[in-house]
Amino acid sequence: MIARRPSMIERLTDAARRKALQSLKGWTKVRGRDAIAKTYLFRDFNEAFGFMSRVALAAEKSDHHPEWFNVYNKVEVTLTTHDANGVSERDIRLAQFMDRIAGRAGRAK
């Protein structure tokens, strides 16, 4: 069995999380857990799936994966860092990336 290295990822403080959320349009704190969420709406399934594919490639590269749900043109995303037991800088960076690539097409619900 391979031993895992201790996590070096730190959970954001409440103040740091609040500040980060102020800079993220449409992202909200998830009730009952240390996570952030946003719903993106696209023109159609093809556009939503293309968005998810681009995010999946970046997520795999950074070894940080979103919790998400897709129905037709809607993509609901929840971000939290399980190794940190809450929101970390990784989540903020991934949220910023998602907002950037969604552009106008992925208007927040």
User: What does the alpha-carbon distance between residue 12 and residue 6 come to, in Å, rounded to a whole number?
Assistant: 17
List the chain domain ranges.
14-108
pLDDT at 22 over 50: yes
> What CATH superfamily is the domain 14-108?
Transcriptional coactivator/pterin dehydratase (3.30.1360.20)
CB 50 within 8 A of CB 101: no
| pTM score | 0.86
23-71 pLDDT, tens digit per residue, is 999 999 999 999 999 999 999 999 999 999 999 999 999 888 999 999 9
Q: Long-range contact list for 17-25, CB < 8 A, 24+ apart? A: 17/87, 20/87, 20/92, 24/92, 24/95, 24/96, 24/99, 25/99, 25/108
HSE of 56, CA atoms in CB hemisphere, 13 A: 9
| pLDDT-derived band at 8, boundaries 50, 70, 90 | confident
